[in-house]
Chains A and B, each alone.
Chain A
């Protein structure tokens, strides 16, 4: 899922300074799981913002709402009635949800309340790690289910590099070397022979973000 974390409180306060009544819109999907922008996290931020503004004598009224998925227009439309009651929106969904609101409500100022960081998994309660960079050409079948694009600092397709030491990465010593993980898991699965195959360079300009924003069209699903 998409992982995010709340923006610095001062930054949020600064761009909400001109407003007296806002909508704080959370999202019931990814940012709920990573505790950045779900219903509870939104309520916590709203409470803190109200108190901070009250303290400086500029009360801020906040309407809180959390659509099930802010990035889906069907759910985001639920905010239509509330939008008319406020001067601005603080969205604590990921960058996708913010843009969905910006598209649906062109006359409304929408501010992001979180920084969207990566696509990742929960490795333990309160800890999330990056797992996918949406390169557009998955090679996990060749790398024992461990992605070198997302998890190797150098995105090596045929690793490891010389900086791998005792299973750790030279860029960040606390980070596991992705290619060590790939080797260990391939060995455990009896699949080491797969690593003798050279993985060709990716066509970054074709499937990845390098050729501009990507789009999927499924004609069979269009209405």
Chain B
């Protein structure tokens, strides 16, 4: 899956460069095929294995990165409104 580096940083305060992250991810079971530049910054192409459905999101891979670098993970704080369904 495509992974926007800046988006990951919303969940974990990464100090590693995209290149370092790629090498680290590759040795923890998430192969990163390539890094491409884009308008939103570097985009990593992560190859997930079939047993890691939990990593199929930016938050999931941020959790992986937080564990690798021993950093705190900032969970997304959904803004929920009281009210009926479907509003």
The judgment on whether A and B are partners is no
Query: B residues bordering A, Cβ < 8 Å?
Result: none
